[in-house]
Structure 1
């Protein structure tokens, strides 16, 4: 059973492993909620909405202005960068997410009787269900951060949920799984390692993506969370510089992006929701928020990256992008046409990005991990 928080940034990193298990002949069910339900179903997996109608928005309210929310994101992100730990306020919020998902998850687990529970980091219901059933749990990471003590830190926030279900307030057997090579990881902790399979959903490839390019193409994205929380005001300097750059810009901010009334240059193409893994093969570079999944997908594509950190673990990831030769890291206000031309035309940067892609291609994929997970399940 895959037990995943209601967010695409939590679901998508785990789908490569889910399909590796299916391809090896194992039964897989996804226990999740919110937008992740349809996304898991569209990926061809059996899925159960364990908390239909739950009000997750009340846990992460959009209060204050876009600027206020952006400032809060940055403060929390800088705190995580300094400590290399998920802040306590996030653990408290995700304990509330877990509370909403607990009854449905535990009901499914007791009926379906999984031999192993794989869960997205911060999904506390999996720890309770695994302890209640006496099966191992695998924490599937979705960042470049090892946090070997995270389950132990999370436990006090989950204690009322354990008690509500009559489950001893104890951790099950937990194994950490990191979905990036060891040389990309930060922090302390031991666990299994595999190479990610970039996935951002399926869809129809648009006409413009298969037509011959007339000039270089740069993808611009802020992931699935930032546009919803703070809008796209951080891209003002990018859009200004785009008007002075001989390239096509594909603005991939989801449907109905909040551009703050900005007037777009003629060389900027706005697209609705488009799976990133379908787009990058036709791009020459990417500008993004330094989200982990976006960073890895771009690294696999072998194109130079410009990271503009926004919050959460973005500064950790942005530092990694520069350290491993994947691209550049700057603050949003520092973007100009000169920087964009460097991103597109610096041969050293392009060669480094291609070399990183080749190195990633040699890393073991999720199929190489199946036997290890089966061994864990057989020990229950």
Structure 2
């Protein structure tokens, strides 16, 4: 069977699809992965054939604001940004992906398209070319008004290109869901034709920092990251000062947005790296302090790790709420994320047996979900 996978151009949207794409290839399917140029090397390192499609979110937002415009000032409420998010995700990105994917689908004529659910251009292009398609989620679905705004703009664009998109999620297509049911949004569970898939961490090949493997595990290891898109020097500095006060070792992944040198001298129990292979690191740590990105949140769920979430934007706020609701950690938002609050909350979460028990239960739930190899065997059922 010939399959085309397609995702938006970002690590957070691309990585969740790679385990299933690789499993489908290993099951003997002909797999092609279509995404933007900057992500193609990552896919190629996974051993998959690629084609270029779409462009990145930065370019999409620039097309709305212009190269010099600021999308939102810090004193504006999030709701003021909703029309822009609706335009980017309901029109600009889908329009570009449809333009690129429609001829690609016509040329390759796959039996099935697997599109990441943030990339509704993949769904529309599949409908326009008459090819069966299913969605693939990248984490917990964020409920609320912003999704309604995106859906309304997407319906306008769908009508423009010639079909009634119907209602979300995913125009009624089946959706591969990597979020455990106990923390998934209830509204999504009620509406979606859901295909559960165990979230499997993906990281580009790389070695763990010296001293992580074989370390003395009587001393906790805390992992601090703000991800690839929302790195903030001030937040990282504040969190480093707080976590250094713990009787623990701290490993920091500064990410591409922050030069490690900007963080200055750090205490002796803190180590700063530009990047770490997160999927390989998580089994070695005891607490994750992070931004609430779906990949880090689900990775910590899968490893049964306590979490402290410092959400910075996008779906990170609802992910943080899910962490708290599941009893597996805490959250500190905006001005509440002081050095003292980060220290105290981290100390309490790290020592709380109830949190550890809840985290282990969530990890057991994830372990019981179908593996990528199991779901890959079922993909022909959706090819029509």
Q: Tell me which interval the TM-score lies in, with the shorter structure as reference length.
A: 0.7 to 0.9
Which of 120, 123, 126 aligns to 2:122? It is 126
The question of 1:217 aligning with 2:232 is answered no
| Map of 1:155 onto structure 2 | 155
Q: Which runs of 5+ in 1 are unaligned?
A: 81-85, 163-167
Specify which of 11, 17, 29 is matched with residue 26 of structure 1. Answer: 29
* RMSD, aligned α-carbons: 3.0
Q: CA deviation at 1:211?
A: 4.0
Residue from 301, 304, 313 that aligns with 2:303: 301
Contact 1:198 1:293 (8 Å CA) reproduced: yes
Give the structure-2-normalised TM-score: 0.82
2-structure distance, mates of 1:10, 1:371: 23
Aligned equivalent of 2:280, options 235, 253, 278 = 278
Q: Does 1:344 align with 2:347?
A: no
Partner of 1:177: 176
Please give the per-residue CA displacement for 1:107-149, whole angstroms capped at 9, x wherever unaligned. 2211111111111123233123212221222121113117798
Match in the other structure for 1:58: 59
Deviation at 1:220, TM superposition (A): 0.3
Aligned to 1:138: 134
> What does residue 98 of structure 1 align with?
94
What SS does the aligned partner of 2:223 have? strand
Alpha-carbon distance change, 294 to 69 in structure 1, aligned in 2, over 3 angstroms: farther
What is the CA deviation profile of residues 78-116 of structure 1, one whole-angstrom value per residue up to 9, with x for unaligned ones?
x59xxxxx9443231133233334333222211111111
Say if 1:137 and 1:153 are closer, same or farther in 2 by CA, change over 3 A: farther
Tell me what 1:37 maps to: 40
Structure 2 residue aligned with 1:264 = 266
Gaps of 5+ in 2: 166-170
Contact 2:286 2:305 in 1 (8 A): yes
Deviations 1:195-237 (A, max 9, x none): 211213222333222242373210001111102xxx2322343
For the residue of structure 2 that corresponds to 1:209, the secondary structure is: coil
Question: How many pairs align?
Answer: 357
TM normalised by structure 1 equals: 0.83
Alpha-carbon distance in 1 for matches of 2:250, 2:293: 19
More displaced 10-residue stretch of structure 1: 110-119 or 139-148: 139-148
Three-state SS of the structure 1 residue aligned to 2:363 is helix
Does structure 2 retain, via aligned residues, the 8 Å contact 1:200–1:275?
yes
- 2:370 match: secondary structure: coil
Deviation at 1:257, TM superposition (A): 1.5
Structure 1: distance between partners of 2:264 and 2:209: 25
Give the deviation of 1:71 after TM superposition.
6.0
